[in-house]
Amino acid sequence: MTLIYQDRQLTKKPNKWIAALLGFFLSPMGLLYVGKPLLALLVLLAGFMLNFYGQFYASESLDFFVSIFLWCFFGFISVYAYNKALKFENKRPWYSKWNGQIGIFLIFIIPIIILRVFYIEFFHIPAASMSPSINMGDHIMVVKKGCGNYKLFGIQIHKSERTESCEIERGNVIVFEFPNDKSISYIKRVVAVSNDKVSYHKNILTINGTIVENKFISEQKRESIYEEQLGDTGYQIMQMSNRNHGDGDWIVPEGTFFVMGDNRDNSSDSRMWGFVPEQNVIGVLYHIFEK
């Protein structure tokens, strides 16, 4: 009797509705459920590349068409999985059963979570305070390793001291928890580090008594673009004519950073609300995905 029961379990067809739902919402898992591992791998790679392109590179005019294509793509997989479940005749392989599905899902998802929490994170830029270097609508990737502030969807997973692997120098762009509301993430450029003396008057930035030189690049309407250099890092800043924003003098306390937006006259930064404690740093900019 036991052998007969086990044989029935092995030959029991996949549920057509489960196959359809998995095919639409978790396409690779739906294909594994109906015994198509190679196709599942191909769909996983294709879906990842399409989603990555739509998220980070497609222009706003193409976003709609990419989204429609993805919905049609997942719909097709759903119908395909439904039909395969109806016609399924072979013995069920281990990866098509619920315990195999859960195991495969965990094998893929756990490394992704670890990577997301401790190593890299992606952010969308909703404002223009970092223009022209980073513009509204761009996506960025930051490296979190060693920064010590590890969260997942806003939940603190681990907190530790910043290490040497999270080296932050003048000119680096960082993402950090806004000191006045840690639920908000800000992105700014570090212009001064601990014990530096900062002066900003009439659009002239001075660090420790040395003027940070900039070179005029172009002008459009009331906005002027300059090339600025801090240490080994060169970048562009934007200034608005006939506007003087955030003048003052500061001494950076130990364990903090002084940050500014590259859009100097349209940025809420350390000139307004103070210094960024190093424990607030989430990560350092690694790459910009320009829209």
What CATH number is attached to the domain comprising 221?
2.10.109.10
Do 86 and 183 reside in the same domain of the chain?
Answer: no
Q: Which domain holds residue 178?
A: 120-289
Instruction: Name the pTM for this structure.
Output: 0.84
Do 228 and 203 reside in the same domain of the chain?
Answer: yes
Do 56 and 156 reside in the same domain of the chain?
Answer: no
Do 174 and 274 reside in the same domain of the chain?
Answer: yes
Do 161 and 187 reside in the same domain of the chain?
Answer: yes
In 109-222, the DSSP E strands lie at 120-124, 139-143, 149-152, 155-159, 173-178, 181-192, 197-201, 204-207, 210-211, 214-220
Q: Give the ranges where 34-59 is alpha helix by DSSP (H).
A: 37-56
Q: Which of 96, 188, 224, 267 is catalytic?
A: 188
Q: How many residues does the chain have?
A: 291
Q: What percent of the chain has pLDDT over 90?
A: 70
Do 72 and 126 reside in the same domain of the chain?
Answer: no
Do 167 and 41 reside in the same domain of the chain?
Answer: no
pLDDT in tens, 173-230: 999 999 999 999 999 999 999 999 999 998 899 999 999 998 999 988 788 999 999 9
Do 50 and 84 reside in the same domain of the chain?
Answer: yes
Of 71, 97, 118, the position where a domain reaches its end is: 118
Question: Is 241 a catalytic site residue?
Answer: no
Domains in the chain, number: 2
Do 38 and 178 reside in the same domain of the chain?
Answer: no
DSSP letter for 205, please. E
Do 101 and 183 reside in the same domain of the chain?
Answer: no
Do 82 and 125 reside in the same domain of the chain?
Answer: no
Q: Omega of the bond prior to 37 within 30 degrees of 0, cis?
A: no
Question: Is 87 a catalytic site residue?
Answer: no
Q: Which one, of 147, 15, 22, lies nearest residue 92 by Cα?
A: 15
Q: Which of 27, 78, 96, 129 is catalytic?
A: 129
Do 159 and 42 reside in the same domain of the chain?
Answer: no
Q: Is 234 helix (H, G, I), strand (E, B) or coil?
A: strand
pLDDT in tens, 266-279: 999 999 999 999 99
